[in-house]
Chain A
Amino acid sequence: MKTYTNTGNKDTRSGFGAGLTELGKTHENVVALCADLIGSLKMDDFKANHPERFFQVGIAEANMIGLAAGMTIGGKIPFTGTFANFSTGRVYDQIRQSVAYSNKNVKICASHAGLTLGEDGATHQILEDIGLMKMLPGMTVINTCDYNQTKAATIAIADYEGPVYLRFGRPKVANFTAEDQKFEIGKAVQLTEGSDVTIIATGHLVWEALEAAKTLNEKGISAEVINIHTIKPLDDKAILKSVAKTKCVVTAEEHNYLGGLGESVARVLSTNQPAPQEFVATQDTFGESGTPELLMEKYGLNAEAIVKASEKVLKRK
């Protein structure tokens, strides 16, 4: 089984910051907006190097989304930065009308997504944002898995014309994808080859899926791990190809099972080649305060939960 090495824990939000720094050098039309969370979003470097292209909008997210939509008129490529909760639910109608329906080239970059924001608790831990964003016609939805991939995605979306939701997180997590990777929007990444079960994971759960695959391997179960960094448009072909072989699937995401990656995968399977599926996701609940590790354990979002779900789905084949 192919294995991956953690080159050292790093936060995905720093990958975003590093990507934005690169874009500052290479893309003169890239502008950045932030709603009073520059440090949290790691936008300090872009701000310091390009003060004329950086816009501090204050604690006013609705205005930020509208400003970004307007800035595209005349050719700018705006990147907005705030927490995932305030990037989506708080400003849904602004995104819907001024960005998505108006087809504006805005990149909505959202940190602190999911439970792993930790101690701040449920007011800040959004578990509904993938659903909210994927429902919007024309919106591309990306949830990256580590530092390197977040940096690559940040750079890649600048060259894609159209609205994008880029979701990443707060904690330091394993950094294992290639530093020089080519990020292809909408293209699944097969991480391991397997024949018994397909594990389709996104975001922080991708590393957990790899850990789970190791454990399963020791138990004689061959798992094929697929990293879905782009939830919309979804790489239907890659999913169908893998499930045609394994005949069952586990989806894993730091998100509500309603409206998330799992439901998108279920749609692809049920309309093409139905197969048993288990969902590793939160079960229609809000989060709570705690350390990221304990929260992921309590809400069943770690390697152990993926192993259990895999064993369960195997029995349903």
Chain B
Amino acid sequence: MSNTQQLKDLTTQVRRDILRMVHKVNSGHPGGSLGCAEFFVALYKEIMDRKDSFEMDGIGEDLFFLSNGHISPVFYSVLARSGYFPVEELNTFRLIDSRLQGHPTTHEGLPGIRVASGSLGQGFSVALGAAQTKKLNKDQHLIYSLHGDGELQEGQNWEAIMYAAGNNVDNIISTIDYNGQQIDGPTDVVLPMGNLKEKFEAFGWTVVDILQGNNIEEVLKGMAVAKSKTGQGKPVCVLLHTVMGNGVDFMMHTHAWHGKAPNDEQLEIALKQNPETLGDY
């Protein structure tokens, strides 16, 4: 178990990693990555029951699936800093011959990645399939997944959401990064999705709100509540209220940094707001 300060320090370091990764190749998605830093740190450092051996057979441990694959920088940073691959490899993000593709893939054999994602809306189904296999294997561990809120505009999600409740898949906790932004603007402008909580509940899910998704203590508390709701016949959804671009003042509360890298000057300002803690890669 880490103490809260250690988790906060790691989160700050992850933010630096994200910013430096996308800056180096002048591409990638910092906004959603920054907004989910606390979630990923909480998940990999505290919440998930993972094997120390980093085996990828998917047996005997909790598994995580990232559906909105474009926030790969935060995923890669936390995987590296959890020991799945060398932290120095973050230097290769989006470069040719790298295992750290723009969007995560199993194709290059990067430990920690269990399915390719990036073409949106597919992760719910895959995570549910893994959850069903856990049940068949009588493996008590849980499946975690993360999805963008805008991503829910893809119809396949709702096929999966309907399936999960209809088949009592209660060993899954699916989190929605509820930041209200997507590439073209606020989700309410691009395609209003109405009341997501009511929608999930109407589809037969248990919904847990984490109102401060960028407060690590609140994320830990909320995910513990979500975990306590598993095994009760219903799938569990977490609405993780986050701020896109969190931790960098000029990137916050806007879709502008969804898929844009900072320039040299902007990087310097952003890094000053997130001083080095565990050491840069």
Contact = CB atoms under 8 A, between A and B. Distances in A.
8 contacts: A62-B122, A62-B159, A67-B126, A67-B163, A74-B139, A97-B117, A98-B115, A102-B116
A180 interface: no
Given A63-B160, A70-B132, A73-B58, A97 B127 contact: no
Interface stretch (A1-9, A50-58, A113-121, A231-239): A50-58
B178 interface: no
B137 A70 contact: no
Nearest to B65: A70
A53 B136 contact: yes
A58 B156 CA distance: 13
A184 interface: no
A53 B132 CA distance: 10
Interface residues of A, number: 32
Interface in B100-120: 105-107, 114-119
A66 B156 contact: yes
Contacts of A309: none
A101 interface: yes
Contacts of A74: 57-59, 130, 133-134, 136-137, 139
Contact of A70 (B107, B116, B129): B129
Q: Is the interface of A mostly helix, strand, loop or mixed?
A: helix
Contacts of B119: 93, 96-97
B133 A69 contact: no
B153 to A, nearest CB: 14
B144 interface: no
B163 A97 contact: no
A75 B59 contact: yes
Interface in B134-172: 134, 136-137, 139, 155-156, 159-160, 162-163, 166-167
Contacts of A66: 122-126, 128-129, 156, 160
Contacts of B160: 60, 63, 66-67
A236 B114 CA distance: 34
B167 to A, nearest CB: 8
Interface string A50-90: 00110101101011111111111111101000000000000
A252 to B, nearest CB: 35
Given A62-B156, A70-B127, A75-B59, A102 B136 contact: no
Contact of B125 (A58, A63, A76, A101): A63
Interface string A141-155: 000000000000000
Nearest to A55: B132
B96 to A, nearest CB: 18
A21 interface: no
B131 interface: yes
Contacts of B117: 97
A94 interface: yes
A69 B57 contact: no
Contacts of A124: none
Nearest to A96: B119
A192 interface: no
Interface residues of B, number: 38
B49 to A, nearest CB: 15
B155 to A, nearest CB: 8
A104 interface: yes
A103 interface: yes
Given A102-B105, A102-B116, A103-B106, A70 B163 contact: no
A156 to B, nearest CB: 23
B240 interface: no
A31 interface: yes
Contacts of A68: 129
A158 to B, nearest CB: 16
B128 to A, nearest CB: 6
Nearest to A60: B159
B21 interface: no
A123 B126 CA distance: 28
Given A62-B156, A66-B156, A98 B133 contact: no
Contacts of B107: 101-103
B173 to A, nearest CB: 15
B163 to A, nearest CB: 6
Contacts of B116: 97-98, 101-102
Contacts of A67: 125-126, 128-129, 132, 160, 163
Contact of A71 (B59, B132, B162): B132
B270 interface: no
Nearest to A61: B159
B133 A94 contact: no
A97 B67 CA distance: 11
Contacts of B131: 70
Contacts of B133: 70-76
B162 A98 contact: no
B115 A69 contact: yes
Q: Which of B65, B115, B129, B160 has the most CB of A within 10 A?
A: B129
Contacts of B124: 63, 66
B56 to A, nearest CB: 9
B68 to A, nearest CB: 13
B60 to A, nearest CB: 9
